[in-house]
Structures are given as structure tokens and as C-alpha cells.
Amino acid sequence: MIEMPWQIPPAAPLPGGIAARPSRRETERAVIRALSQLDPSLARWARAERRRAALLRFLVGIWGHFRLRATEWFAAALLLQLGWTFGTPPDIFPGQPAWALLARLAPEGTWGALMLAVAGLRIAALTVNGTYRGFRFSPHIRALTAFLACGLWLQVTLSAWSSPVPGAACGIYRLILLMELWNVWSSGLDVGYAERRRALDAA
């Protein structure tokens, strides 16, 4: 093997000490600053276009995954509605045998607050997941909130089932519980897929 008397010199540093390519956000900010120096109206237009592009990305991200996660959105809406019913006056626990079990476990306002918190966190995770990939734990939050919602609907179903007259609502709650079990399984698969993809990217 012939040894060369010279070596390839290392790459020269970029001007200004920049070690890496600027991000898209930094580039957009630099463009807006340059436009503001030329014409303030152009800078305002650029900011408005940036906000519109962010909103469009937000809506497209939700719609692109809505069909695959429609049951999760529907279940979150149901839990949000029930939590709002429990958390706002008038109280419906007194005199209702269907809620006797829930009333023995915790006050009505507590159930409402729990349901609203789980549903709100779930909707936030559904909104972020698939739209902003930089937030790596959105699939995990989806799976966690699906599991918590499943536990809440289990308590609601058992409370209605233990009533002397369960009524038609008990059957509806059982169907919602089955839907939540499906959501736990499907969101758990998404967590596994996200972790495998991250492991392949890191390899």
C-alpha cells in the first residue's frame, strides 16, 4: 500500500462559528427579520403566512390520523361529556340508584374532575401525535389515557350494573367499555411501533 506524503485537511469551520445547518424555524425567523428591515408590512405578511401554515399543518395532521383513531376521539368526547355532567350542577348522584356505587367511592365532583382531566389530556395527545413528531411521548400518553379511561368506564358500568334496575344505559356503558379496551390495544401497538422506529433511527 502506497503511503501518500499528504493528508486531506479537515473541513474549515463555517463562517460565524455555525457548526450545523440552521433549523427551519431559525431560517424563518431570519427571513422575517430581513423583511422587517426592508418593509414592516412584508414582515407582518410573513408572520400571518407562518401562522396560517402552522394552523394548516395542525388541521392536516389531525385529519390524516382521524380515521385510524376515530374510536379514540369518540371515546374522549363521551368521557368529556360525562365528566362535564358530573362536574357541573345540578348533582345527579342523589336519588339515582345507578350511581350509588360511584357515590360510595368518591363525590360526584371528584369523578367529574377525573374524567375531564383524562379526556383533556387524551385530546391533547391525539392532537399532537402524528402532527408534531418532536414530541416523542404522545403515543405513550395516548395509551396511558386510554387505560385510565377504560378504568373509569369500568366503574361507571359496574355502578349501573349493580343498580336494582340497570336500564338501557348499562348496555351502552358496556359497549363503551369494549370500545375502550380496543383503544388500549391499538394505542399500545402504536407505542411499540414508535419505539421500534426510534431504535432503528438510533442504530
Amino acid 179: pLDDT: 95
Are the beta carbons of 65 and 132 closer than 8 angstroms? Answer: no
Which three cell numbers mark 129?
401525535
CA-nearest of 79, 44, 58, 54 to 157 is: 79
DSSP 8-state code for residue 56: H
- Taking the C-alpha atoms of residue 201 and residue 90, their distance in angstroms, rounded to an integer, is 53
- Taking the C-alpha atoms of residue 189 and residue 179, their distance in angstroms, rounded to an integer, is 15
Give the total residue count for the chain. 203
Are the beta carbons of 83 and 109 closer than 8 angstroms? Answer: no
Amino acid 66: pLDDT: 74
> How many C-beta atoms surround the C-beta of residue 129 within 10 A?
24
- H helix or E strand, kind and range, residue 77: helix 70-87
- Taking the C-alpha atoms of residue 177 and residue 85, their distance in angstroms, rounded to an integer, is 19
Amino acid 128: pLDDT: 81
Amino acid 1: pLDDT: 47
List per-residue pLDDT tens for the chain, 203 residues long.
455 454 555 555 545 544 455 566 667 666 666 656 666 666 666 666 667 766 666 666 666 677 788 899 999 999 999 999 999 988 899 888 889 999 999 999 999 999 999 999 999 888 887 666 656 778 888 899 999 999 999 999 999 998 887 777 888 999 999 999 999 999 989 888 878 877 887 76
Amino acid 45: pLDDT: 61
Amino acid at 155: Q
In three-state secondary structure terms, 141 is helix
